Amino acid sequence: MLNQPIQLVIIGGGPAGYTAAIYAARAGLCPILYEGPQPGGQLTITGDVENYPGYRNGVMGTDMMEDFKAQAERFGAIIKEGIITKVDFSIYPRLLMLDNGEQITAQAIIIAAGASAKWLGLPSEKRLYGKGVSACAVCDGFFFKNETVVVVGGGDTAAEESLYLSKLCKKVHMLIRKGHMRASKIMQERVLKKENIQVWFHTEVKDIIGQEAVAAIELIHTTSNQTHIIDATGLFVAIGHQPNSAPFLPYISVNKHGYIQVEPGKTQTNVPGVFAAGDIQDPHYRQAVTAAGTGCMAALDAERFLQNQSDHSIQKNL
């Protein structure tokens, strides 16, 4: 027997989810937020955040997420541990299943489960994440001003990261596993024209050297198996992101890369009363501030939806 439907469930405890919880709680929607497998989102495994407004001296990602969480709880949002593993959006109220076997129903849902960066799988990569290893040049590039860095990847994202870093860094080494770049022709041309970007084809990262911080990158040539060491203080992995949208399929429409599709300028998905915010619907920006903005939008959209549902119910009973 299922309990009484929850008015609003928010899935994901990153900037989008917590912002949605702040707005929804202040609107009296009594939201329940499930933090997911990584409470606080990707910012909890990064270092200083210097580009989020309001923190004039920068802030640790973990501290910023604790501030978000505390603010949401201050207005009455209920924050719970738990992972949504499966849904049934063919019924209303919508059915959600958690990893502990619990089943709940909700009148409105905001999906803010984020996207996970794809990694190389090296032990040193995990150990040095936030200590020179990053998956976001816009977020962390400033910390490597006038230094030498390495970018891994051959697509448009890697090209964009390399070009961005080339404006800040003394030297950018771009490592491409194959003998060609997958990036669009115009992006390839821009990369190859940059004097301080060196492109390495048929090259992979063998290891990241450093104990407390990145000191050098050991490369391996995939055709000759020859190794080479580059002195560098930063490694940017740009081989793509994977949106955490699998639990919501096949009900939610996604693009070919798995990002949830929403109505232009809104957060409404193809399922009435189900909204998406943050990186799970944003393959382009992937910034804390843009995620927070869409969290605000989703809360306002959910509030309007629930009000319309209430008005309809009142009219039906008149």
| Residues 18-32 pLDDT 10s | 999 999 999 999 999
The pTM of the full predicted model, rounded to 2 decimals, is 0.82
Catalytic site includes residue 279: no
Catalytic site includes residue 311: no
Where b means 16+ CB within 10 Å and e means fewer, 130-156 reads ebbbbbbbebbbebbeebbbbbbbbbb
| Residues 126-146 pLDDT 10s | 999 989 999 989 889 999 999
| Residues 85-104 pLDDT 10s | 999 999 999 999 999 999 99
Q: Which domains does the chain have, with CATH numbers?
A: 6-116+241-317 (3.50.50.60), 123-237 (3.50.50.60)
Other Cβ atoms less than 10 A from the Cβ of 207: the count is: 16
Question: Could you write out the DSSP letters of every residue in 71-132?
Answer: HHHHTTPEEE---EEEEETTSSSEEEEETTS-EEEEEEEEE---EEE-----HHHHHTBTTT
pLDDT confidence of residue 318: 45
| Residues 276-294 pLDDT 10s | 999 999 998 888 999 999 9
Q: Which of 136, 169, 279, 301 is catalytic?
A: 136
Catalytic site includes residue 136: yes
Q: Which of 30, 99, 139, 311 is catalytic?
A: 139
Residues of the chain above pLDDT 90, percent: 81
Q: Which of 30, 63, 67, 140 is catalytic?
A: 140
CB 148 within 8 A of CB 230: yes
